Amino acid sequence: MLAVLAVGLFLLGLASGGSPNANLPHIVMMLVDDWGWANVGYHRNPPTREVVTPNIDGLVKQGLELNQHYVYQVCSPSRSSLISGRLPIHVNDLNVDPDHYNPDDLVSGYAGIPRNMTGIAEKMRGAGYATHQVGKWDAGMATPDHTPKGRGFDTSFGYFHHANDYYNETIGVCNRTPIVDLWDTDKPAHGINGTGPDNYEEGLFKERLLNIVSKHDPSTPLFLYYAPHIVHKPLQVPG
């Protein structure tokens, strides 16, 4: 598991404005799971041709790398810990396991981060930030309160599960019908999912990220959480 927090007004090409929030930095938080420690260039000394990551290296050089923290051995608990600020044992984050559902507990009995816990996006929004999430969520979907919108993100684009097909965004089958898990905030993302190289998952995420940045008012501080799927199974490469 690798988490990178990039902080800086100019990482996004945004200039500061004249509002009271002008001194707050724009923040891009990236969470990449299933990625080895030596799979980034800035961890390779001396450099190697096998691992070339100039853009990530530049973000770390200009921002801040979080490299002293506890993570779980699988993606979902670590992800939920980052969002909630709590250790995995305190967040019921395995969101598709029926054994983790307690219907008698209306607050935290649902699979996912307990609803009475305040997440990082809620804190950032309370501080005046515009909050956006793009990519893999995998931190609860039992109720609307467990989704990115319920956890404080103004907008979100991605999928709730953890191992979707990269080209058609399906995860499993129900009554012989493929289940498509691609969401635009609180609605299914109709019209953009489908098989083909133009709909490769990370391409869709890239378009949304660039759209958020290009349309953002620089006088408002931005908190952008990007969680790519590309190093997680099913390990499908671009066409």
**Nearest Cα residue to 139 out of 90, 77, 186:** 77
Domains of the chain: 2-227 (3.40.720.10)
Sign of the alpha-carbon torsion through 24, 53, 76, 182: positive
> What length is written for the chain?
239
101-121: average pLDDT: 71
Taking CB atoms within 8 Å and a gap of at least 24, the contacts of 50-53 are none
- Indicate left, alpha or beta for 27 from its phi (over 0: left) and psi (-120 to 50: alpha): beta
Q: Convert the pLDDT of each residue in 183-193 to its tens digit.
A: 899 888 876 65
- pLDDT-based confidence at residue 117 (cuts at 50, 70, 90): confident
Integer CA distances (angstroms), 233 to 51, 73, 209, in order: 20, 15, 22
| pTM for the whole structure | 0.82
